[in-house]
Structure 1
Amino acid sequence: MRPSLALSIACSLLLASCGSTQTALSPSAAILAQTQKVAVLSVPVAAEVKFVELILTDKKGAAQTFSAVPADGSAVFQLGKVGNGDFQAAVRAYDASDKKVVLYKGAAPVNLKAGTAATFPALTRVSASVTVNATPTLDKTATFTAKLGETSLPMTVAGGVASVKFADVPTARSLSVTVQGKASDGQPTQTGSATFTLGDGGATVPVTLSEIASCPVVEGAVTAIPAIQGSGAASPLVGQSVTVRGVVTSDLQSGLGGFYVQDAAGDSDPATSDGVFVFTGLGSAAAPQPVAVGDLVQFTGTVKEFKSPATATESATQLDTVSNFVKCAPGLVVKPVEVKAPFNDLERYEGMLVTFPEKLTVTDNFSYGRFGELGLSAGGRLFNPTNGNVSPAPSAAELAARRIILDDRSSRQNPATVAYLEGGTRRTGDTVTGLTGALHFANNAFKVQPTADPVFVNENPRSATPKAVGGTLTVAGANVLNYFTTFGASTDRGASSAYEFGRQKTKVIAALKGLDADIVTLMEVQNNGDAALNDLVAGLNTAYGAETYKAVQTGVIGTDAIKVAIIYKPARVRPVGSFAIDPNPVYSRPPLAQSFQDLGKGGVLTVVANHFKSKGSCPTSGDVDTGQGCWNQLRVQQSQALLSFAQTLKTRVNDQDVLIMGDLNAYGQEDPINTIVAGGYASLNLRIPEADRYSYQFGGLFGYLDHALATTNLNSQVTGITEWHINADEPVFIDYNVEFKNNPNCVGTNCTSPDLYTPDAFRASDHDPVLVGLNLSADTVTEPVTPLSVSATGPDTVTAGQPYTLSVGAGGTPDSLKVNWGDGSAEETLAAGATSAAHTYASAGPVTITVTATRGAETKTATKSVTVNSAPVTGAGRLVISQVYGGGGNTGAPFTNDFIEIFNAGSGPVNLNGYSVQYASATGTSWAVTPLGTVNLAAGQYYLVQGAAGTTVTNAPLPTPDVIGTTNLSGTNGKVALASSTVALTGINPVGGALVDLVGYGSANGFEGNAAPALSNTTAGLRAGNGCTDTNQNGADFAAGAPTPRTTASPANICP
């Protein structure tokens, strides 16, 4: 059975009377005394008391000792064997049972009586003195201060020992004392600390001092870096000369022209930065200082607020004009301060060593190649607020507060080495954690200059193929970024040379081949009839090794320099009826529609290619940017017109399956898209996971401008959709362009960036392509009856003797298409599907061109009025050979064909009727003749003669030549002649007679004066002055350079 409460208390009393440690088991002192008929003494104690000792001395001097562990603020002693009477009581209260540190004491007479409880008076806190002795002391230390708790006392030095005595220090364990020594100017020079136990007998504490790195004492004041920075955006000391001490945290003198220093201790004010940038100069004006990270330095400089560029609205605080520089000590360590998003107030960290503990994501690599910068963001990549990825949509301020820029420690543009690359790229979506560096300010933005290369995680690796979309039929939308086959004219937007075009074409073809879609809608194809489109399809089929694709031939669409287009696989689908173009003038670029039947399952759908008005080129009033980019109202109107157009398409083939594709220049939740969705279309892009729902990057924000929207009926037949991220994530500078790159074809003095071009799909454009999978239901095909129509468009004027190009459009598949040029010449019958025709007028005057289309008994005509102007006759013409290239089709050649370029360097026109260019080998006497056309070559005009094609490789085609020949030129050595006759020349070095000009190159034995330089697969012979220089010395007049073929369509070059 359990013992009774009385028995338990009795046992406790027995233990207490024997001098054992008392545990607080009784409910209260009074109850205990009454129930057990014993004397009880209660001693109130503080919470830190853990053990109490009681000594009772009777009148005879006999003493008994008791102990107790306090509970509930009291130590209760049960004094059963003491007896009744008067006693002298002494109490000592300790912090632990080892009784090393007594915290409280007390003594008082007590009267004890069985059955009653007495309370001991309040105890007194025990204190003692502490003597601190610090050694060794250094001569440079002028004063010492000891700090114990919250009390600091100055110390005296005698015999190499700094001493001080603290009186009345409360006893305690693990007390700490810190000693700091300072030089006469206040900078710390020595420090030390010690931990000790203070009992009631006091303590003497030895402290060993260590030396702190310090600088020589200077005359005058030393200004703390936080005082220079101040608490505002600009320094309160601008223009003043200050002496500064600090620790070097980053040496960027070779890249930024300066280094960062930071106050070793700081001022503990969160509003003021402890670091500052010290500018020592760049280039020939540089005066670098011999610093290393961790150096304690002292110098004098001038406080400046520097703007970069000079037009910037905000400035960076820095020091320059450095003098009296002293390196005081090496090896100091500055701990970086942690910075976490949101990054709203970075001014207080300007110039300091900072670290970002959280994961940061690359969200902007637009200026990566130009400036070596990467935009990073906390919380993942940043999406445009109107894209619909986050609800509610974040504000611009919220997005900005998540951004920080990683720089490359250099202010150089187009750096020869681009930092942080891996595998020739640095894609957005990659991440870095623990980024550490100096916080720099330039270009109105804070930038981290890392102290070590950050380690990136490739969280967004390239994908060699798009994600699977399923289905039995695929439709893609691809922006081909100004695919132009002509270069140099004011209306040309794409590649600036044939060399660049070859690179661009390779990438575009790789992207389209990677999509491998059955139907492809294209955006940004040159609107030069179907020339650029057909060039692309030809190249794509060459890559496949078969006639895999065909293009929907439309000719010129609208008036913009670019158009939309559609290509398809005839083995997979067949066009149903002819194409349709919406003539509504609201469009920037009219949409193109074509119905197709799936040859596998028999399903029918209509695909509409679109390219809405862009968000740029903003007006000053009216349709301005109110949050969705400029021209949003116009894009809404275009959406409304598109819905009407699509409705007519459904009835055209009696099928409800319409797929709207293209660059609508509106993000996912913007008004133009909402308009189409409200009109009965499903946004297929919403099937893509939110984190992956983007096709374009602008200003470090992502979203999808490239859409796929399906009618309700078609939506149920969609098996999948993806956006193949081959473009938006990639740095711009890896594209086909050669500007600023270390490439022989780069023109200028800033060709310094690495050329990271690769012949693959990545950065083929600035938009990611969209791919849709379909599983169409079988349909009954209704062939539309397209009304017969014809159109004729072209320039309003032409010069006599110059070719005039007429753009011809025909609808309804005419049986025949004829052109009457209106000048009495024979009517010309055009080939089926022709979209243009050319004619050269011999004399001036107004003419009316008539185009006639017939289909059975139907006839439609279109006319175009043209004024033929007289050819200017202001002087005599002077024909020269201006360019020779024989490396066409060879390894490394930029072009497939050889060519000869003729130029009129005179002041009047020359009719080329009866002229020829002729070629002979380097030592040959037989001349191959290529007759020229009947053209009045105006002053300053070029004329391109195409030669034979090489057989080694197939490269870019020449611009449309003025005449096509079959002569095979040598790529290194040969002779070219221009003659006023089509009769072959004779001899090694023909002279006189019909000879107009002669060029011998390389080891040729025929030439004017001396031979021009030898050529190669990548170089042509170029006449100086763009053809104007003619000293009759081939060696002086010609130089080897990159071939740049020009035609009669190229800009004129009037010689002085």
Structure 2
Amino acid sequence: MPPRISRRSPAVLSRRSAAVSTVVATALAAGLITVANTGSAAAAEVRVHDIQGTTRLSPLAGEQVTEVPGTVTGVRGYGSRGFWIQDTAPDADTATSEGVFVFTGSTTPTVKPGDAVLVSGTVTEYVPGGASSGNQSLTQITKPTVTVESSGNPVPQPQRIDAAAVPSAYAPDGDAADGGSINKLPLAPDKYALDFYESLEGMNVSVGTSRVVGATDPYHELWITVKPDEHRNRRGGTVYGSYTAQNTGRLQIQSLAPVAEKPFPKANVGDVLTGTTEGPLDFNQFGGYTLTARTLGTVTDKRLAREKTRKQSSGELAVATYNVENLDPKDPQEKFDALAEAVVTNLASPDVLALEEIQDNNGATNDGTVAADETLKKFTAAIEAAGGPAYDWRSVDPQNNKDGGEPGGNIRQVFLFNPDRVSFKDRPGGDATTATDVVRSGGRAALTHSPGRIAPADPAWADSRKPLAGEFTFRGRTVFVIANHFGSKGGDEGLTSHHQPPNRSSETKRLQQAKAVNTFVRKIQKVQKNADVVVLGDINDFEFSATTKALTDGGALTAAVKSLPRSERYSYVYQGNSQVLDQILTSPAVGDFAYDSVHINAEFAQQNSDHDPQVLRFRP
């Protein structure tokens, strides 16, 4: 039902009913609300802080409330339509928010900031993404009836969010008796960052000049940090280096102004959002706590440059990995050209390049096509046109719609290699369902199929990309390369989940996949202890994760990214966290190497992929 909005004269307003509703009476008896000091118990009313309460869940959830007073602080006329109100007579409890969102459904609100209103409706707890997402809920008033008492009032002064205000501890441990949830725990805003943000849910807040730690995305939002020194790296990002060392100063920024009316600024990591950004603090599915700006600062461009790795020497083998994000022939030539330019200029034309997310010849068209030769011809031609080598390629076509990813796209891993520098040992017979194995040949390890897939029937790879193994020869030395694209983090709960720590359900599959790859590497090493093995790709997990530990189990492999300083360990930026997803791992025989995470995409608003490529150089 659309909200009913009326405007009353002062005379009518003076005759507001003082009768206490059943809801209010119940809340009074439970001690959930108080009586205003007006000399009459009949003057009791529900205030915003009574609705918000001292935990994450409203004590009045599911109840009707009548004529809740507040001043409008922000209006959203698109997406989840509604407006925020804030009480101008706050209580003394820092745990209770004085702001709340009023959800108007499909109806665009007609109120405006500065309107003093009375709102009646139902108090609800809305979970963005649904209960299965693990997200916290947003307290709101739904099915509202709105009365505008007056207009042109000052918007309540914003609560400043800065480094001094946000606690360094991230969240309390969840209540074991409540399934690990923090929903019912009393808020401690002076102790935990998540509690601090929750205590301001729906309130008018502001941030001052702040560094951008997550570039503007296609949905017109960016991430800043209010803590300039929190895990900062030299390029301006905030590094995520541990499950127990959260970056508490991150905050998502959106604008209440429609993009058509006021374009959202383009910002890269390291840029600065200058001046004051002010508006209601929201909670949403794709980022948690979000400052929905009524007033947006301006972006100061710090001119972040895309990196270029050095060229390998004649005696070095350069092996790289790059997730090219669902590349198919239907993509514009500009994408092929940009990716090709990155291979030649930024990656210095590596000798072997493992690609992830190469789609079939008609992309997402779901008609049974699985071959990707047209995709690869177009890409390798673009590389040659950019001044790179005439790469050859090897791959194994998947079964239709059996490897996950975009339906119909049939993504797979592919080896590109420069035949002037390295040769490929073809051992036929490998296909989508035939597993490659390890045998002894001439006293050394060899694959039964090259290229070949590792254990494609193993349940670990169900609806996921199967590892691609191949034998390469460089200066007379065999190098085994295994290209991977492990299962995604889809289904994991966000860092702002009401479960603390959040559930990471997707890790189970990656752990199985890592064990399968580790087992295969050990097979090679059992036949030939000093075999050069390189495992690389989009591992979809952190260098400190259980997945990486399983890959390196028993010393079979070393995570090369750990050779970098902690502040340099990242290949991806997610919700303002610079983090590792793409990795290269080496067997002990590889010995000394040079490793480079080449930052050309993840930190930028303009991206050719959302991943940064990785390069390893060594002397086999």
Query: What TM-score bracket applies, with the shorter chain setting the length?
Result: 0.5 to 0.7
Unpaired segments of 5 or more residues in structure 2? Answer: 1-35, 168-192, 234-238, 361-369, 404-409, 428-449, 493-502
Matches of 1:324 and 1:574, distance apart in 2: 75
Which one of 229, 234, 256 corresponds to residue 409 of structure 1? Answer: 256
- Counterpart CA distance in 2 for 1:626 and 1:519 is 33
Q: Does 1:438 align with 2:280?
A: yes
Query: 2:310 & 2:154 partners in 1: Cα distance?
Result: 57
Q: What is the alpha-carbon distance in structure 2 between the residues aligned to residue 482 and residue 666 of structure 1?
A: 19
Any conservation in 2 of the 1:362–1:381 contact (CA below 8 Å)? no
Q: Do residues 689 (structure 1) and 565 (structure 2) align? A: yes
Alignment partner of 1:241 out of 66, 69, 79: 66
State how far apart, in whole Å, the 1-side matches of 2:100 and 2:65 are.
Answer: 15
Alignment match, 1:543: 386
How far the C-alpha of 1:334 sits from its partner, in A, is 2.3
- CA distance in structure 2 between the partners assigned to 1:693 and 1:454 by the alignment: 30
Q: Give the equivalent residue in structure 2 for 1:667.
A: 542
The equivalent residue for 1:610 is: 483
* Native 8 Å contact 2:74 2:294 kept in 1: yes
Q: Is the CA contact 1:427–1:729 (under 8 Å) kept in the aligned structure 2?
A: yes
Q: Which amino acid aligns with 1:549?
A: A
Corresponding residue to 2:124 among 305, 313, 323? 305
Query: 2 CA distance for matches of 1:337 and 1:583?
Result: 55
Could you say what secondary structure the match of 1:539 adopts?
helix
Within 5 Å, which residues of 2 pair with 1:320-335? Answer: 321-327=144-150, 330-331=153-154, 334-335=157-158
Write out per-residue CA displacement over residues 63-113 of structure 1, whole angstroms, 9 at most, x where no aligned residue: xxxxxxxxxxxxxxxxxxxxxxxxxxxxxxxxxxxxxxxxxxxxxxxxxxx
Deviation (angstroms), 1:632: 1.0
State the partner residue of 2:455.
Answer: 585
Q: TM-score, normalised by structure 2?
A: 0.63
Give the secondary structure class of the aligned counterpart of 2:148. Answer: strand
- Judge conservation of contact 1:377–1:403 (CA < 8 Å) in 2: yes
The one-letter code of the counterpart of 1:534 is K
Distance 1:402 1:631 in 2: 30
Aligned to 1:394: 243
Matches for 1:520-535 after TM superposition, within 5 Å: 520-525=353-358, 526=360, 528=371, 530-535=373-378
Separation in 1, partners of 2:124, 2:412: 50
Residue type of the alignment partner of 2:413: V
Deviations 1:252-286 (A, max 9, x none): 4578654444333422222332334455x476x44
Number of the residue aligned with 1:703: 579
Could you tell me how far apart the structure 2 residues matched to 1:553 and 1:229 are?
59
Aligned position for 1:564: 413
Greater strand proportion: 1
Q: 1:317 to 1:615 in 2, by over 3 A?
A: closer
**In 2: Cα distance, 1:519 partner to 1:332 partner:** 60
Residue 449 in structure 1 maps to residue 292 in structure 2: yes
1:726 maps to what in 2?
600
Asked if the contact 1:640/1:675 (under 8 Å) is kept, the reply is: no
Measure, in 1, the Cα distance between the counterparts of 2:489 and 2:128: 24
Q: Kindly indicate whether residue 337 of structure 2 is the aligned counterpart of residue 461 of structure 1.
A: no
State the match for 2:202 in structure 1. 351
Instruction: Check 1:264–1:611 CA distance in 2 against 1; reply closer, same or farther (3 A cut).
Output: same
Which residue in the other structure is 2:110 paired with?
288
Query: Cα offset for 1:727?
Result: 3.3
Q: Is the 8 A contact 1:639 1:673 kept in 2?
A: no
Matches within 5 A, 1:413-428: 420-422=264-266, 426-428=267-269
Separation (CA, whole Å) in 1 of partners of 2:518 and 2:208: 46
* Distance verdict in 2 for CA 1:646–1:325, change over 3 Å: same
Aligned counterparts of 2:424 and 2:50: Cα–Cα separation in 1: 78
Tell me the CA shift for residue 361 of structure 1: 5.1
Q: Higher relative contact order by CA 8 Å / sep ≥ 6: 1 or 2? A: 2
Q: Tell whether the 8 Å contact from 1:594 to 1:607 is kept in structure 2 after alignment.
A: yes
Q: Does 1:314 align with 2:127?
A: no
Contact (CA 8 Å) 2:351, 2:422: kept in 1 or not?
no
Cα deviation digits, residues 876-901 of structure 1 (max 9, x gap): xxxxxxxxxxxxxxxxxxxxxxxxxx
SS of the residue aligned with 1:437?
strand
Q: Distance in 1 between matches of 2:584 and 2:198?
A: 45
Q: What is aligned with 1:275?
A: 99
Offset from partner CA, 1:213-241 (integer Å, 9 cap, x none): xxxxxx97776543454445326494132
Q: Partner residue of 1:481?
A: 325
Question: Cα 1:348–1:533, aligned 2, differ >3 Å: closer, same or farther?
Answer: closer
SS in structure 1 at match of 2:279? strand
> Is the alpha carbon distance of 1:575 and 1:437 closer, same or farther for their aligned partners in structure 2, counting shifts above 3 Å?
same
1:821 aligns with: none
**2-structure distance, mates of 1:618, 1:645:** 34
Residue 566 of structure 2 corresponds to residue 714 of structure 1? no
Following the alignment from structure 1 to structure 2, what is the Cα–Cα distance between the partners of residues 303 and 469? 64
Query: Match for 1:669: what amino acid?
Result: F
Q: Could you give the per-residue CA deviations for residues 577-624 of structure 1, whole angstroms, max 9, x where no partner exists? A: 546345652575343323333xxxx574625141154246899xxxx9
1:365-418, Cα deviation, whole Å (9 max, x unpaired): 6xx434x444555655799xxxxx777x434xx7486554323226x8xx6578
Give the Cα–Cα distance (whole angstroms) in 2 for the partners of residues 287 and 436 of structure 1.
20
The 1:501–1:378 alpha-carbon spacing in structure 2 relative to 1, beyond 3 Å, is same
Q: Distance in 2 between matches of 1:673 and 1:298?
A: 55
Identity of aligned residues (%): 18
Which residue is equivalent to 1:505? 336
1:644–1:535 CA distance, 2 compared to 1 (3 A): farther
- Higher Rg: 1
- 1 CA distance for matches of 2:575 and 2:615? 25
Q: Deviations over 1:684-717 (max 9, x none)?
A: 222223222122356765533332233445333x
CA contact 1:430–1:460 (8 Å) conserved in 2: yes
Q: Deviations over 1:643-700 (max 9, x none)?
A: 323665x69xxx8544443334443234554455444544322222322212235676
Q: Quote the Cα distance in structure 2 between the aligned partners of 1:328 and 1:416.
A: 26
Give the 3 Å change call, closer, same or farther, for CA 590–288 of structure 1 in structure 2: closer
| Counterparts of 1:240 and 1:307, CA distance in 2 | 17
8 A contact 2:102–2:141 mirrored in 1: yes
The code of the aligned residue for 2:166 comes to: K
Letter aligned with residue 591 of structure 1: L
Q: What letter is aligned with 1:686?
A: K
Secondary structure in 2 aligned to 1:240? strand
Name 2:518's counterpart in structure 1: 639
CA distance in 1 between counterparts of 2:102 and 2:508 reads: 41
Structure-2 residue corresponding to 1:1028? none
Q: Name the CA distance, whole Å, in 2 between partners of 1:689 and 1:658.
A: 24
Q: 1:567 to 1:634 in 2, by over 3 A?
A: closer
Measured at CA, do residues 228 and 509 of structure 1 come closer, stay the same or move farther in structure 2, by a change above 3 Å?
same
Q: Residue type of the partner of 2:253? A: L
Q: 2:352 maps to which residue?
A: 519
Return the alpha-carbon distance in structure 1 between the equivalents of residues 532 and 481 of structure 2.
11
Matched position secondary structure for 1:538: helix
Label 1:325 to 1:535 Cα distance change in 2 as closer, same or farther (>3 A): closer
Task: Please give the per-residue CA displacement for 1:627-655, whole angstroms capped at 9, x wherever unaligned.
Answer: 8342412321222202323665x69xxx8
Cα root mean square deviation, aligned: 4.5
Structure 2: distance between partners of 1:508 and 1:390? 27
Other-structure match for 2:26:
none
Contact 2:52 2:100 in 1 (8 A): yes
Cα distance change, pair 555–662 in 1 and its aligned pair in 2 (3 A): closer
Q: Check whether the contact 2:52–2:139 (CA below 8 A) recurs between aligned residues.
A: no
Aligned to 2:616: 772
Contact kept, 8 Å, 1:375 with 1:403, in 2: the verdict is yes
